[in-house]
Amino acid sequence: MSNSSSFNEFLLLAFSDTRELQLLHFSLFLGIYLASLLGNGLIITAIVCDHHLHTPMFFFLLNLSVLDLGTISTTVPKSMANSLWNTSAISYLGCAAQVFHFTFLLSTEYSVLTVMAYDRYVAICRPLHYGTLMNHRACVRMAAAAWASGFLNAFLHTTNTFSIPLCQGNTVDQFFCEIPQILKLLCAGSYFREAGALVVTICLVFGCFIFIVQSYVQIFTVVLRIPSEQGRHKAFSMCLPHLAVVSLFVGTVIFAYLKPPSISSPFLDLVLSVLYAVVPPAVNPLIYSMRNKELKNALKEFTPLVLLQQQ
């Protein structure tokens, strides 16, 4: 560890050295950022203002929109500013703050998506108990647990990672600071200090994943048994937006973090990181609003499903 050094800044991946391409990157990210602000802002306003949308599903969706706004605000504005001012530097504290916020919001988002899977499971497989299982207190508790687990996870990893000396320079191969990239810079012998925390997180992520898959297996078993085509369609439209968001999120994150190092290239890493850090916050509002009307109708005509369950 003799050649370990401390830095007061990190260098982020710059998209280009050419002025035109830097401005193109700036405009592209600005467009995506504004789209995300607009989409999530509209969803938040709609849910807060419309009393018809004061149901657990929409409150969790509200959580998701807030998280999406936070996630994209952590990474994109800094990258845009760097392109505009032709720099790649981020201060040590700025980098730690990015790691903390990004990990916090991403793990909370994953927990909220898990809770939403449970919500869909209860709505479709246990409709008679929906009122009791998803009452206000239970929802607030689940939401609080999701935010607390995200906070603890981020706190654990950020303090752990930033207390280990760096040996491999201060160049981060990514347009924002995130844990896997910082881990690459750690001194070889000290990696095990973060390994324990990683194992805990991987177990939790895997547990939630099994839970989500299990919920959807049960949902599909029930839905496919609905005799009427219309009823099936309604039930599917209640859970397809959520399934789409989960697949986008889990698919890109798992691929980015668990892909074999042999297929790792800077370009692929960059595309993947844009796919899981920038695209979902901008696309999620679209996925949900596309089905919004149908969702409302599905909720209104929920009674046939309830009757079916009683038979």
Ligand X SMILES: *[C@@H]1O[C@H](CO)[C@@H](O)[C@H](O)[C@H]1NC(C)=O
66 binds ligand X (CB under 6 A): yes
**What is the spatial distance between Cα 254 and Cα 209, in angstroms, rounded to a whole number?**
11
Contacts of ligand X in 185-244 (CB under 6 A): none
d(CA 121, CA 103): 27
Strand partners, 166: 5, 186
Taking the complex as a whole, the smallest distance from the CB of residue 55 to ligand X amounts, in Å, to 9
Question: Segment contacting ligand X (CB under 6 A): 4-12, 21-29, 138-146, 156-164?
Answer: 138-146
- Write down the least CB distance from residue 26 to ligand X, Å: 30
Q: CA-based Rg of the chain, rounded to a whole angstrom? A: 21
Closer residue to ligand X (CB): 108 or 181: 108
Q: Which is nearer to ligand X, 63 or 82 (CB)?
A: 63
- The reply to whether 56 sits near ligand X by the rule CB under 6 A is yes
CB of 119 to ligand X, least distance (A): 9
- Considering the complex, state which of residue 96 and residue 123 has its C-beta at the smaller distance from ligand X: 123
DSSP symbol at 18? S
Give the interface size with ligand X as a residue count (CB under 6 A): 9
Nearest distance in Å: CB 44, ligand X = 8
What token pair was written down for 25?
Answer: 């990157």
113 binds ligand X (CB under 6 A): no
Three-state SS string over 184-216 comes to CCECHHHCHHHHHHHHHHHHHHHHHHHHHHHHH
Please name which of 96, 95, 70, 204 lies closest in space to residue 159, comparing C-alpha atoms: 96
Count CA atoms closer than 13 A to 104's CA, side-chain side: 18
**Three-state SS across 248-310?**
HHHHHHHHHHHCCHHHCCHHHHHHHHHHHHCHHHHHHHHHHHHCHHHHHHHHHCCHHHHHHHH
Candidate list 93, 140, 148, 210; residue touching ligand X; CB under 6 A: 140
H-run or E-run covering 143: helix 136-162
Q: Which residue is nearest to ligand X (CB)?
A: 59
Least Å from the CB of residue 134 to ligand X: 9
Is 123 among the residues that bind ligand X (CB under 6 A)? no
Does residue 96 interact with ligand X by CB under 6 A? no
Quick one: which of 12, 43, 53, 62 contacts ligand X (CB under 6 A)?
62
Q: Which of the ranges 56-64, 99-107, 116-124, 299-307 carries the binding residues for ligand X, by CB under 6 A?
A: 56-64
Query: Which chain residues interact with ligand X by CB under 6 A?
Result: 56, 59-60, 62-63, 66, 139-140, 143
